[in-house]
Structure 1
Amino acid sequence: MFIFQTLMATIIGSLLVGIGVNGFLVPHHLIDGGILGIALILHYFFEFQTGLTMVILSLPICIFSTRFERGYFFSSLQGLFATSIFIDLLAPIRSQFLVSQWASALIGGVIIGIGVGLMLRYRTSTGGTDLLAKIISGIIPLNLAFIIIILDGLIILAGFTVLEGDSFLYSCMAICTVGLTTAIIEGH
């Protein structure tokens, strides 16, 4: 039963992340944290496919994680592939929701946060920096959330060089909304 629940959480969570990214972040050139944030920066700058870029950037981290978190690795790999597929499949909805940057940051952040929180609740994720942070917290006695904040902060700083001022500020708002919503849904 738990395997079925995890599979459903992976599918629904990945679908929500795909909707949040394509429906609300991409139309206003907003970014999220983690590998997704890097993939979005590369999408805006070089027009790379966001989902495919996530897979390419996350695979080395996933392979490295097998030394530390073998069980979490397999479920995260499924989450990574499902999320990447939904992000690329749902690219056509980028022009469907006509809302302001402010509303997009909040709505997209909530939708992505629900998706990520649901996945984390069932011990799966989108791989990437969440998995890297989990490994680091197992090696260095630092809080997992603190490590994620540091990694996301570095990605936001990288985004500052590519984004316009208002997109940067609304991206920060989206990331905070994703984090808060994720924490609420995950239950911690």
Structure 2
Amino acid sequence: MKELYAKHTIVDVLYAAAGILFCGFALKGFLIPNHFFDGGITGISLLLHELYHWNIGYVIVLANVPLIIMAAFQVNKGFALKTFLAIAGLALCLLFIPYPQITSDKLLVSIFGGAFMGIGIGLAMRGGFALDGVEVLALYTGKRVSFTISEIILGINIIVFLVAAVKLGLPTALYSILTYYSASRTINFVVEGIEEFTGVTIISGQSEIIKEELVMKLGRGITIYKGERGFLKDSFNVSQPCDIVFTVVTRLELRRLKNIVHELDPKAFVFTNVIKETAGGVLSRKVRH
């Protein structure tokens, strides 16, 4: 057990170290030399750096310290310590590693600067570390207002980009929004991976055949809910019992599943939803760190 824990700890630290190096590369190789910025606390730090010319390494730490303290109470002390170590590592990376400036092309900076930033943050997240305290702030605020965490983060970023538009010009703010979008999409890909799971619910009069095809041909486990189908406007009192089929597939398998269902029953009602986390069952997915 101790050996397994030590192995996981080493892997987590390697993820965090790689994430810090990628973030440092994105900041010093793309964003900072071209006066671009990102969302969240990192975006606020970059904005302060541009407006007051404070050293970015110190600003990132100071801007995140209140949120790290907040994380100790809102999440747990272990997470707060890991967040502090990751942000301190990023600050040291920015202070001492001489990254070269890669390009001055604004479109390349906004896309690839955001992509490398997303890779770095995503790798750190896979290791259980955080390189930006904005989600802690959103979690704290969300308990006191009726907005969701995503809405709060969006509101914070809107304020950051509006200030940037006023102080640094609208074109810079617009390019930085593209940077933020590129980073957020890359984070999703790095954290979720190409095997992001999708839950699929199927309601059909041909449920028996569909169940067999999903299990025997697609090789997926299924769960069955007992329900009734019908209840149409012209025949509300007419309904039939049916098996509602639920399964979980990767996005690479989703198209094949839909094709199978459509061939068996073109009128089948199928809807999907993204699965953020899975555990147990028969899913053959690698364990995330």
Q: Normalising to structure 2: TM-score of the pair?
A: 0.60
The one-character-per-residue Cα deviations of 1:86-121 (angstroms, maximum 9, x if unpaired) are 12224x435x31340110110100000000011112
Following superposition, the deviation at residue 41 of structure 1 comes to 1.1
1:177 aligns with 2:182: yes
Which structure has the highest strand share of the two?
2
- 5 Å-filtered alignment, 1:1-188, equals 1-70=7-76, 71-90=78-97, 92-93=98-99, 96-137=101-142, 142-187=147-192, 188=276
Secondary structure at the counterpart of residue 45 of structure 1: helix
Residue identity opposite 2:108 in structure 1:
A
The one-character-per-residue Cα deviations of 1:31-56 (angstroms, maximum 9, x if unpaired) are 11111111111111211111210111
Residues of 1 paired with 2:128 and 2:75: CA distance?
A: 11
Consecutive unaligned residues in structure 1, runs of 5 or more: none
Consecutive unaligned residues in structure 2, runs of 5 or more: 1-6, 193-275, 277-289
The 1:134/1:14 distance shift into structure 2, 3 A limit, reads farther
The 1:120/1:137 distance shift into structure 2, 3 A limit, reads farther
Partner of 2:270: none
Following superposition, the deviation at residue 154 of structure 1 comes to 1.8
Residues of 2 paired with 1:114 and 1:135: CA distance?
A: 26
Residues of 2 paired with 1:122 and 1:144: CA distance?
A: 22
CA RMSD of aligned residues (A): 1.9
Residues of 1 paired with 2:82 and 2:139: CA distance?
A: 14
Percent identical among aligned pairs is 23
How many aligned residue pairs are there? 186
The 1:29/1:184 distance shift into structure 2, 3 A limit, reads same
Following superposition, the deviation at residue 138 of structure 1 comes to 5.9
Q: Normalising to structure 1: TM-score of the pair?
A: 0.89
Higher relative contact order (CA 8 A, sep 6+): 1
Q: Which has the larger radius of gyration?
A: 2
Residues of 2 paired with 1:73 and 1:102: CA distance?
A: 35
